[in-house]
Amino acid sequence: MNYEELLAFAGRNPMLSMALVGLTVAIIVTEVRRLFRGFKSLKPAELTQLMNAGGAIVVDLSSSSDFEKGHIAGSRNVQPSQFGPEHKLVAKAQQSPVVLVCRSGNASETAAKALKKAGFTQVNVLDGGIPAWQQAELPLVKGRN
């Protein structure tokens, strides 16, 4: 396939061509934003390794009822509206690894952006949240800490 054939195809199929260009641009923009967002997404296995290494602060931003139904061992529950860089769990841990967890990923990404903006250097988010943890068949603890 050469350049002339591609141009002929694009001329015969303008909607397909526009869709291809649009999707390509969307993928590039998404990947560039992910690279420059300032925090890292961890898979459940990576979080386990980080916790085993010690020093990681795991903050669960789920509702209290969801937290009691099941959470990662050692995590602390904080409501997203009450959490920020000045919260007592993380206020003195700007150089320590902080991992944010929630049910969907939305609350943890918002909180991660705030921590990064405040100067935290090791901000992480559990990719996929608690459902990803469960899918990896890792244990959850029930009740309060």
pTM greater than 0.85 (yes/no)? no
Please answer whether residues 125 and 109 qualify as being in contact, where contact means their C-beta atoms are separated by less than 8 angstroms. yes
User: How would you classify the pairing of strands 40-42 and 57-60?
Assistant: unpaired
Q: If we measure between CA atoms, which residue out of 77, 53, 47 comes closest to residue 63?
A: 77
User: How would you classify the pairing of strands 40-42 and 123-126?
Assistant: parallel
Max intra-chain CA distance, the chain:
66
Residue 21 makes CB contacts below 8 A (sequence gap 6+) with none
Please give the pLDDT value at position 94.
82
Convert the pLDDT of each residue in 102-133 to its tens digit: 988 788 988 999 999 998 989 999 999 999 99
Catalytic residue numbers, as ranges: 102
Please give the pLDDT value at position 145.
58
Helical residues (DSSP H) of the chain, grouped into ranges = 3-12, 14-35, 44-53, 64-69, 106-117, 129-135
Convert the pLDDT of each residue in 18-66 to its tens digit: 999 999 999 999 899 878 888 889 999 999 999 998 889 999 999 999 9
